[in-house]
Amino acid sequence: MELPFRVCFCSGEDLDYPSSELNPENNAVGARGWQTPRYCQYPMELGLELVGPAAPHIQQMKLLSHQSKIASRVEIFVGDGPDYHSAAFNRLGYMSLDANERSRYQARELKTVYLNLSARFVRLLVHQCHLNKYNLFNQVGIVAITLLGDGGAGGP
C-alpha cells in the first residue's frame, strides 16, 4: 500500500515548484513536482516524514524524474528520532539517473529502490544536474515520490 508522508524539510525550491507538490495528496495527474532554485549550490536536501503512530515498514521508494531537469544522482538515507533535524540517519546508497539524451529529453525516468526496512524519515540528497540545452538554469526536478509498504514496524 502507498504510505502517507509529508515533505518536512527542503534546502531550497523554485517558488513555482515548491516541495509541497511532492506530498501524496498533490500526486494527481498533471502534478508539477518540485524543482531546485535556479543556479543553486548542490547537493540539495529533501526530507520526508512518514505519517502515522509508528515507524512504518517501507518496502520500496519510487522516484519520477523530470524529463530535462535531471539529477546526476540522488543519495538515500533513512532515520529515526523525535524530529527530522535530530534523527539519526543511515546512508543506504544512491541512484544514478540517465542524462536522457536518447529520448531527446521527452521521457521521464522512474527509479524504484527496494528498501525493506522501518523508518520514520527519508533524506534525499540531490546532486548536480545533467547539463543540457533545455535546462537553462541548471535545475533538478522531481515530479513525484511514492513510498510503498505497510503501516506497522517490522513488516507484514
Domains of the chain: 5-150 (2.60.120.260)
Residue 152 has what pLDDT? 58
What pLDDT is recorded for position 26?
Answer: 78
pTM of this prediction? 0.92
pLDDT at residue 156 in the model: 46
Query: What digits encode the pLDDT tens for the residues 98-152?
Result: 988 888 878 889 999 999 999 999 999 999 999 999 999 999 999 999 999 986 5
Percent of the chain exceeding pLDDT 90 equals: 79
Buried b / exposed e across 7-27, counting CB within 10 Å, b at 16+?
Answer: bbebbbbbeebbbebbbbeeb
| pLDDT higher than 90, residue 91 | yes
**pLDDT > 60? residue 45:** yes
CB of 147 within 8 A of CB of 5? yes
Q: What is the mean pLDDT of residues 67-79?
A: 96
Question: How does residue 155 score in pLDDT terms, banded at 50, 70 and 90?
Answer: very low
What residues have CB less than 8 Å from 129, skipping those under 6 apart? 36, 42, 69, 70, 71, 72, 135, 138, 139, 140
Q: Is the pLDDT of residue 25 over 90?
A: no
Q: What is the pLDDT of residue 11?
A: 98
